[in-house]
């Protein structure tokens, strides 16, 4: 399978739209305008794609957009070239390409998704994208369980739009979903500049994300949580950037609305971020401009959300908008006492997973020693909040947190945000998850922690730097390399792939049978079987990331030494 046309189309259409939208974003850093342009491009493509589906029009009409965008880019060639000539923009885009290539390399190695109890979601979201792409019957039940209104449509419509330009199929879906999720790097790059005050922290962020197991898993496992994190994190960045003057909250509201159309996990973040913003910017509440910007953002957000809400209510009824969601479907706490009991259990397990549980016993019930080790590490990295940033990230945050410069208003903002978003995220889940639930609504918080760790890494002493690199290798080997080798069915090497699969847990076999029953060959099935090219490519990218980070860290140390 040749994925080059898909890569060229994805980067071409989204970079072009981002560059064009950045021209109308007003004054500001070119990098900020570019990332906001990406968000605007995603929203525009969703509106076009959803409009084509709702009107039952052929997807070939979507091709009008890249044609018009290309013509507009040629017409505005000089400002577009000036934007991409900006050094910060080039640095951020290079980092984005590196993390995208890193995740795609691992995606192209996976023969069967496995890890912990994660099963079925990848098939469901592929079916949702296919639902929009092929105009399936509106009463279709995804994986024979959920209707369309169980999950919001933005990411699935986006991927369906891009799939309409190619051969379709699950491999096509994997490529585009991974690329979409990797766009979350862009707001993180803006955020690391805000919290560190240094452009040289970009290289540290790239390196930490590449060796972060949660990042790799959520860019290769094709679902929509990380796509929603793009909008959530960009909204957080806008609020952080506007703290000093009480600005940009209108944009943040619109971004949160887009995040809500991507995944319902945006809800707790909308409440927590709004509360943190009001708590820290109340001195500006007497200004007319403050409320005018909020009203514009709210009006735009409501208009965007209403497109989906009113269409779904007309087709499925108002009750389906809530009743089909997993929170309503899985709810077992019918009284306040039961709710508080489930909430306290989930809060505890998100920090300290249960040592013994029926789910854990099912996951660990396998003859493969490597599979048990992988699943034990997987559950810690993916579903517990402290280890979501990785062992190295946790170490950096613990030892260098005081070195991250911030002012009193920023401390209040972050304190309120974290204090609210954790309990709200836990409360939004209806049933007990005794392995932890950091992966449900708290992924943006984990990525913010990774950003803070990157800001700290560039300021560490030489001894702390060496310790961090050693610990990073543990995260890489235990949380990523071992996991991908199990998903590739490479370990142990003396067994055949089928023997290896049979030695893993029942969840892994369920995902494999789902692959066979849906006749959905993975990207790895369509590429040369040796897997050498993706491995070599990933190794080269890691070496490049390490060289760039070391070079920038030495520049920072030399500058600090010169000042002293």
Residue 205: its pLDDT value, please? 94
Tell me the HSE value of 117 on the side-chain side, using a 13 A CA sphere: 14
Q: Which two tokens stand for residue 114?
A: 């496995």
The answer to whether residues 182 and 206 touch, using CB atoms and an 8 Å cutoff, is no
Q: Which of 436, 428, 418, 426 is nearest to 352 (CA)?
A: 436
Q: Which two tokens stand for residue 338?
A: 């039961």
Burial class of residue 557 (count of CB atoms within 10 Å of its CB; 0-12, 13-18, 19+): middle
CA distance 70 to 536: 34
Is omega for the bond preceding 281 within 30 degrees of 0, making it cis?
A: no
3-class SS letters over 56-125: CCCHHHHHHHHHHHHHHHHHCHHHHHHHHCCHHHHHHHHHHHHHHHHHHHHHCCCCCCCCCCCCCHHHHH
Residue 333: its pLDDT value, please? 55
Measured between alpha carbons, how far is residue 323 from residues 425, 426, 508 in Å?
A: 19, 20, 30
Measured between alpha carbons, how far is residue 194 from residues 406, 461, 495 in Å?
A: 10, 22, 50
Q: Which two tokens stand for residue 294?
A: 């909020």
Q: Which of 386, 383, 405 is nearest to 395 (CA)?
A: 386
Residues 276-286 as b/e (b if ≥16 CB within 10 A, e otherwise) read: bbeebbeeeee
CA distance 270 to 277: 10
Residue 171: its pLDDT value, please? 94
The answer to whether residues 379 and 435 touch, using CB atoms and an 8 Å cutoff, is yes
Residue 140 DSSP one-character state: P
Residue 360 DSSP one-character state: H
Q: Which helix (H) or strand (E) element contains residue 154?
A: helix 154-163
The answer to whether residues 248 and 242 touch, using CB atoms and an 8 Å cutoff, is yes
The answer to whether residues 349 and 435 touch, using CB atoms and an 8 Å cutoff, is yes
CA distance 36 to 235: 10
Tell me the whole-structure pTM to 2 decimals: 0.95
pLDDT (tens digit, 0 to 9) for every residue of the chain, 564 residues total? Answer: 678 999 999 999 999 999 999 999 877 899 999 999 999 999 999 999 999 999 999 999 999 999 999 999 999 999 999 999 999 999 999 999 999 999 999 999 999 999 888 888 999 999 999 999 999 999 999 988 889 999 999 999 999 999 999 888 999 999 999 999 999 999 999 999 888 766 668 999 999 999 999 999 999 999 999 999 999 999 999 999 888 788 888 999 999 999 999 999 999 999 999 999 999 988 887 788 889 999 999 999 999 999 999 999 999 998 887 766 766 666 655 678 888 888 998 999 999 877 666 666 777 788 888 988 999 899 999 999 999 999 988 888 887 666 565 678 888 999 999 999 999 999 988 778 888 889 989 999 999 999 988 888 877 777 777 888 888 999 999 999 999 999 998 877 777 888 888 888 888 888 888 888 888 899 999 998 888 999 999 999 999 999 988 888 777 777 767 766
């Amino acid at each position: 399978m040749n994925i080059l046309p898909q890569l060229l189309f994805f980067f071409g259409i989204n970079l072009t739209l981002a560059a064009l939208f950045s021209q109308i974003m007003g004054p500001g850093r070119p990098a900020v305008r570019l990332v906001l342009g990406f968000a605007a491009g995603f929203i525009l493509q969703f509106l076009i794609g959803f409009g084509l589906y709702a009107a039952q029009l052929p997807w070939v009409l979507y091709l009008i957009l890249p044609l018009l965008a290309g013509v507009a880019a040629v017409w505005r060639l000089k400002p577009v070239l000036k934007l991409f000539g900006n050094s910060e923009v080039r640095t951020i885009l290079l980092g984005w390409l590196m993390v995208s290539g890193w995740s795609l390399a691992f995606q192209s190695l996976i023969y069967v998704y496995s890890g912990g109890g994660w099963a079925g979601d990848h098939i469901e979201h592929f079916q949702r994208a296919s639902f929009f792409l092929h105009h399936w019957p509106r009463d279709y039940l995804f994986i024979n369980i959920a209707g369309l209104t169980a999950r919001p449509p933005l990411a699935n419509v986006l991927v369906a739009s891009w799939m309409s330009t190619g051969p379709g199929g699950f491999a096509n879906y994997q490529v585009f979903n991974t690329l979409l999720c990797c766009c979350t790097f862009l707001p993180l790059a803006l955020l690391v500049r805000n919290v560190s005050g240094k452009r040289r922290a970009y290289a540290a962020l790239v390196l930490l994300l590449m060796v972060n197991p949660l990042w790799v898993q959520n860019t290769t496992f094709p679902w929509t949580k990380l796509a929603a994190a793009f909008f959530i994190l960009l909204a957080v960045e806008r609020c952080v950037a506007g703290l000093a003057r009480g600005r940009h909250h209108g944009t943040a509201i619109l971004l949160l609305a887009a995040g809500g159309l991507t995944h319902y996990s945006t809800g707790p973040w909308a409440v927590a971020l709004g509360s943190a913003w009001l708590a820290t910017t109340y001195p500006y509440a007497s200004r007319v401009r403050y409320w005018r910007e909020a009203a514009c953002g709210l009006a735009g957000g409501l208009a965007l959300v209403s497109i989906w809400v009113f269409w779904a209510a007309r087709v499925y009824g108002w009750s389906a908008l809530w009743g089909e969601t997993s929170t309503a479907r899985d709810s077992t706490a019918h009284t306040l006492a039961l709710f508080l009991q489930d909430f306290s259990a989930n809060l505890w397990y998100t920090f300290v997973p249960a040592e013994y549980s029926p789910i854990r016993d099912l996951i660990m019930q396998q003859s493969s020693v490597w599979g048990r080790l992988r699943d034990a590490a997987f559950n810690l990295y993916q579903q517990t909040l402290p280890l979501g940033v990785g062992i190295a990230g946790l170490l950096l945050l613990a030892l260098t947190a005081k070195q991250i410069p911030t002012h009193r208003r920023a401390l209040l903002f972050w304190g309120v945000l974290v204090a609210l978003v954790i309990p709200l995220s836990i409360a939004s889940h209806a049933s007990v998850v005794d392995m932890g639930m950091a992966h449900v609504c708290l992924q943006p918080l984990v990525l913010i922690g990774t950003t803070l760790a990157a800001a700290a890494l560039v300021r560490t002493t030489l001894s702390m730097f060496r310790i961090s690199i050693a610990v990073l290798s543990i995260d890489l080997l235990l949380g990523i390399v071992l996991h991908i080798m199990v998903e590739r069915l490479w370990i142990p090497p003396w067994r055949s792939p089928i023997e290896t699969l049979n030695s893993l847990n029942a969840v892994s076999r369920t995902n494999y049978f789902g692959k066979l029953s849906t006749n959905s060959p993975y990207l790895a099935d369509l590429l040369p079987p040796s897997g050498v090219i993706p491995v070599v490519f990933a190794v080269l990218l890691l070496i490049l990331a390490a060289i760039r980070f070391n070079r920038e860290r030495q520049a920072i140390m030399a500058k600090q030494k010169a000042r002293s």
